[in-house]
A and B are shown apart, each in its own frame.
Chain A
Amino acid sequence: MDFLLDVSLYASTLRMVTPILLAALGGAICARVGLFNVGLEGLVLIGAFSGIVGNHFTGNVFAAVLFAVLCSLLFSVLFGFMSIHLKANVIVVGIALNFLALGLTTFSLRAIFDVKGAYYNKDMIGLPKWDIPLLKDIPWLGEVLSGHSPLVYLSIILVIVLQLFLFKTVTGFRLLAAGENPTAAKSLGIKVTRIQYGAVLLCGALCGLAGAQLSLGNVTMFTEGMTSGRGFIALVATMLGQSNPIGVAASSLLFGFMDALSIRLQGFALPTHFTMMLPYIVTILAMLFFKDKGYMQEARKSNESSR
Chain B
Amino acid sequence: MDKLVQFGRSLLQPLLAVIIGLAAGAIAIVIVGGSVMDTYAEMWKGAFGSFYFFTNTLSRATPIILIGLGVALAFRAGFFNMGSEGQMVLGALSAAVTAIYLPGPGWFKLVAAIIAGIISGGIWSAFAGWLDARFRMNLLITTLLLNYIATLFAGYIVSYPLKDRTGSAAMAQTVMLDQSVWLPKLFKGMSLHGGFIIAVVGAILLFLFMRYTVKGYEIRMLGGNPLFASYGGVQRGKMMLISMFVSGGFAGLAGSVEVLGTQYRYLDGALTSPGYAWSGIMATLLAGSHPLGTAVAAILLAALQTGGMGMERNTDVPLEVSSIIQAVLILFVSAKFTYSFIKRRKARS
Contacts and interface: CB of A to CB of B under 8 A. Distances in A.
Contact of A277 (B28, B79, B148, B324): B148
Contact of B331 (A93, A236, A276): A93
A96 B156 contact: no
Contact of A107 (B140, B146, B152, B320): B320
Contacts of B155: 273
Contact of B320 (A87, A110, A232): A110
B210 interface: no
B136 interface: yes
Q: How large is the interface on A (under 10, 10 to 19, 20 to 34, 35 or more residues)?
A: 35 or more
A277 B155 CA distance: 11
B331 to A, nearest CB: 4
Specify which of B132, B226, B282, B337 lies most central, judged by the most chain A CB atoms within 10 Å of its CB: B337
B141 A95 contact: no
A38 interface: yes
Contacts of A89: 334, 337
Interface string B9-23: 000000000000000
Interface string A259-285: 000000000000101101100110110
B142 interface: yes
A9 interface: no
Given A82-B331, A89-B334, A306 B139 contact: yes
B136 A107 contact: no
Given A107-B321, A277-B152, A284-B145, A91 B140 contact: yes
B318 A110 contact: yes
Given A87-B337, A274-B156, A307-B78, A92 B144 contact: no
B330 A92 contact: yes
B136 A271 contact: no
A99 B335 contact: no
Contact of B326 (A78, A103, A232, A271): A103
A102 interface: yes
A287 B282 contact: no
Contacts of B78: 307
Interface string A73-86: 00000100010001
A82 B332 CA distance: 9
A202 interface: no
Contact of A92 (B131, B149, B285): B285
B163 to A, nearest CB: 12
B342 to A, nearest CB: 8
Given A111-B32, A287-B142, A88 B337 contact: yes
Contacts of B321: 107
A179 to B, nearest CB: 17
